[in-house]
Amino acid sequence: MALTGRTGLLALLGAAVMVIVPSWWTLLAVNALVVALVAADLALAGNVRALGLHRSGDTNVRLGEEASVSLIVENPGTRRLRAEVRDAWPPSAGATPRSATLSVPPGERRRVDMRLVPTRRGDRRAVSVTIRSYGPLRLAARQLSRRAPWTVRVLPAFPSRRHLPAKLSRLRELTGQHVALIRGQGTEFDSLREYVDGDDVRSIDWRATARRSDVVVRTWRPERDRRIYLVLDTGRTAAGRVGDIPRLDCSMDAALLLGALASRAGDRVDLLAYDRQVRARVEGSTRTNLLPAMVRAMAPLEPELIEADAAGMVSTLLARVRQRCLVVLLTDLNAAAMEEGLLPLLPQLTAKHLVMVAAVSDPRVTEMATARGDASAVYDAAAAERARADRSRVTAELRKYGVEVVDAPPEDIAPALADAYLSLKAAGRL
């Protein structure tokens, strides 16, 4: 039950009656009238409990874009429903309008259109629908909150997709027009063609040359159908915000670009999100549905404020992949976490696989390192130098194990990782 302002106004009018007819009976009569009118209004208000609530609309929306979800209110009763309807969503769903006024004749339906502009990645669930059904006098209303479940999955924004065309054209250079003449580990025989000046004499195929009058060379191309395993670290280091976005979101962006690129290059891409347990996994996707599958798997991921379990992650990986693959680990070059966790276990991984570590560096540290002027700025700079030294020490350690390290600020991490992948592919090291 809810009252309206009119009830208060009615009671206030009663105050004027008191002055004209001053008696306790007047007081009683006026308030009895107010109570009676409120009771009558409640009795005549449209039934809320019997209403049918239905939903339709978007279930996925990319972060920063707009989704629309409709709420359909069906009135099976015999009285007209005059109501204020609030479709409650969590604040980060960015739902508007806050409430809508509806008038539903008996046996009919009305639709309320909600616009959602989410401000955060993840699943946004509709909380409840509150309906305040007014009586004909609008003195009082029946109010009830009902469940009308609906979930909108807010997908990662993937802002680095604008880099994709440039990287794809580089990829085409590698695979198509530009064939490699060097045989490497990750290359396969492509074709035979006539020798032209400048070709490496070592690539001359003497057997084919003997069969023809011309000198023939063998060409090689980067091998296709390699396997790439993207590993997202969702532990505590992923929670740190670089600029205003968590490191995890930057890593996701980079992983999406690399996934899109590698799947076009004909490689198989798998994804694993891990801290102390498997948070998300995408395996065995086909080329066309890889990206949607990755995006959907990533959407609900949140960084956990716990130390990631590197040993568990390595054993999970080793258990799942038998053939040689490129393991791309998206984490942070945090000296303590790396030295305790991953570094001792690297030999197990590098023995069989090629490992690449991609880390997002914080521009704030770079900014602090150049701070000068007074003592506090210089202390800032000293602390930043110390952090950079730690980071470069970890990088050097990793490289010693033959690990590729990509360390870039958030806006560059995705293209830098894609470039690193392309150069590995060009060199036939996959």
Partner 1 sequence: MTAVQTAPPAAPETARQVAHRRWRRSRGILIVLLALVIIGVVLAALRPKVRAEYLDPDSPGQQGARALVEITRQHGTPVTVARSVSAAAGAVNSNPDTLLVIARSERLTSTDLATLRALPGDRLLLEPSGDALEALAPGVETDGVTSGTISPACPLPAAADAGSIDLIGGQVYRAPAGATQCYLGDGRPSLVQLPVGGANVTVIGSGGPFTNERLTDAGDAALGMNLLGSRSNVVWLLPAPPPPGAGGQKSFTELVPFGVKLAVLQAVIAVVLVALWRARRLGPVVVEPLPVVVRSAEAVEGRARLYRSRGAGDRAAMALRAGALERLTALLGMPKSAASDPAMANEIVAGIAAHTGEPQAAIGAALYGPPPMDDAELVRLSGYLDELERQVRSS
- Restricting to residues 191-250, which ones interact with partner 1 according to CB under 8 A? 239-242, 246-247
Nearer to partner 1, 243 or 292 (CB): 243
Per CB under 8 A, which of residues 354..383 are in contact with partner 1? 362, 364-365, 368-369, 372-376, 378-383
- Is residue 102 close enough to count as binding partner 1 by CB under 8 A? yes
Residues 146-185 that bind partner 1 (CB under 8 A): none
Q: Is 261 exposed, middle or buried (0-12, 13-18, 19+ CB in 10 A)?
A: buried
Check residue 386 for interaction with partner 1 (CB under 8 A): yes
Q: Is 120 near partner 1 (CB under 8 A)?
A: yes
Instruction: Assess 7 for contact with partner 1 (CB under 8 A).
Output: yes
Q: Which of 246, 223, 222 is nearest to 235 (CA)?
A: 246
| 333, burial (CB in 10 Å: exposed 0-12, middle 13-18, buried 19+) | buried
Amino acid, res. 407: D
Nearest alpha-carbon partner for 428 in 170, 227, 186 = 186
Q: Which of these segments, 57-65, 171-179, 220-228, 299-307, binds partner 1 (CB under 8 A)? A: 299-307
- Considering only the stretches 128-136, 323-331, 349-357, 400-408, report the one whose residues sit in contact with partner 1 under the rule CB under 8 A: 128-136
Q: Is 115 in the site for partner 1 (CB under 8 A)?
A: yes
Please pick, from the candidates 58, 65, 84, 190, the single residue that binds partner 1 as defined by CB under 8 A. 84
| Residue 30 touching partner 1 (CB under 8 A) | yes
The C-alpha atoms of residue 202 and residue 206 are separated, in whole angstroms, by 10
In the complex, minimum distance from the CB of residue 6 to partner 1, in angstroms, rounded to a whole number: 9
Distances in whole angstroms, Cα of residue 279 to Cα of each of 62, 273, 364: 21, 5, 29
| Minimum separation from the CB atom of position 20 to partner 1 (A) | 7
Would you say 303 and 330 are in contact if contact means Cβ atoms under 8 Å apart?
A: no
By CB under 8 A, is residue 128 in contact with partner 1? Answer: yes
Least distance in Å: CB of 207 to partner 1? 47
Nearer to partner 1, 190 or 411 (CB): 411
* Local structure of residue 176 (DSSP, 8 states): T
Among 32, 43, 64, 145, binds partner 1 (CB under 8 A): 145
Site for partner 1 in 391-420 (CB under 8 A): 392, 396
Could you give the dihedral angle defined by the CA atoms of residues 366, 370, 371 and 372, in that order, rounded to the nearest 10 degrees? Answer: 170
Diameter over CA atoms, the chain: 127
Residue 130 near partner 1 by CB under 8 A: yes
Q: Using the rule CB under 8 A, which residue among 189, 389, 401, 423 binds partner 1?
A: 389
Applying CB under 8 A, does 28 fall inside the site for partner 1? no
| Residue with token string 């409430």 | 99
CB of 388 to partner 1, least distance (A): 7
Interface pattern 52-81 for partner 1 (x via CB under 8 A)? --------------------x---------
- What's the half-sphere exposure (Cβ side, CA atoms, 13 Å) at 49? 1
90 touches partner 1 by CB under 8 A? yes
Question: CA 37 to CA 3: how far, in whole Å?
Answer: 11
Surface-to-core class of residue 177, CB atoms within 10 Å of its CB (0-12 exposed, 13-18 middle, 19+ buried): exposed
Residue from 411, 271, 265 nearest 330 by CA: 271
User: Applying CB under 8 A, which part among 95-103, 169-177, 213-221, 400-408 lies near partner 1?
Assistant: 95-103
**Residue whose entry in the numeric block shows the structure tokens 């065309």:** 165
Q: Does 385 bind partner 1 (CB under 8 A)?
A: yes
Residues near partner 1 (CB under 8 A), total: 87
Amino acid letter for position 419:
D
Q: Does 306 bind partner 1 (CB under 8 A)?
A: no
Nearest approach in angstroms of CB 236 to partner 1 is 8
Contact status, residue 331 vs residue 237, Cβ threshold 8 Å = yes
Instruction: Return the SS3 of 71.
Output: strand
The verdict on 110 binding partner 1 (CB under 8 A) reads: yes
